[in-house]
């Protein structure tokens, strides 16, 4: 007799002056997720990073003034956008176990701080 085993993905966000929602997210494989980030007031540039357990942050996407400026070496399951009020969304389709991670959002006034490490 076969057993049914559900695998859960744990997604966490941290507070760094930006507002990220939801703070925590638990999803099953094959589901999709949407994360939202509101930048610090006056900041036009938004950065998304993924940090797997025991590893450093990996750059995913950068948006500036509603345009995608840079994209890391990421799966086409990732997508995102930035809206007129400068908030950004990160979407990930067909979740896999390896997607369990801390997802980080950072913002800056412009793009000068970006060197594929989170702005301070």
48, with CB counted inside 10 A (0-12, 13-18, 19+), is buried
> What confidence category does residue 2 fall into, taking pLDDT thresholds of 50, 70 and 90?
very low
Model pLDDT, residue 8: 60
Whether residue 91 contacts residue 78, with contact meaning beta carbons closer than 8 Å, is answered with yes
CB neighbour burial string for 66-99, b if at least 16 within 10 angstroms, e if fewer? eeeeeeeebeeebbbebeeebbbbbebeebeeeb
The 10s digit of each residue's pLDDT in 52-79 is 999 999 999 999 999 999 999 999 999 9
Rounded to two decimals, what is the model's pTM?
A: 0.79
Spatial neighbors of 76 by CB under 8 A, at least 6 apart, are none
Structural domain spans, the chain? 30-120
The 10s digit of each residue's pLDDT in 79-109 is 999 999 999 999 999 999 999 999 999 998 8
Q: What are phi and psi of 97, to 5 degrees?
A: -55, -35
Whether residue 105 contacts residue 11, with contact meaning beta carbons closer than 8 Å, is answered with no
* Topology at the third CATH level for domain 30-120: Immunoglobulin-like (2.60.40)
């Amino acid at each position: 007799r076969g057993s049914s085993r559900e695998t859960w993905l744990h997604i966490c966000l941290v507070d760094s002056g930006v507002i990220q929602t939801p703070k925590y997210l638990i999803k099953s494989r094959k589901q999709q997720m949407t994360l939202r980030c509101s930048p610090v007031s006056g900041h036009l540039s938004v950065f998304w990073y993924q940090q797997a357990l025991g590893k450093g942050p990996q750059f995913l996407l950068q948006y500036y003034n509603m345009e995608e400026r840079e994209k890391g070496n990421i799966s086409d399951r990732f997508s995102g956008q930035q809206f007129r009020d400068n908030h950004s969304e990160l979407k990930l389709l067909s979740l896999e176990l390896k997607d369990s991670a801390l997802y980080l959002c950072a913002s800056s006034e412009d793009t000068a701080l970006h060197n594929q490490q989170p702005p301070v």
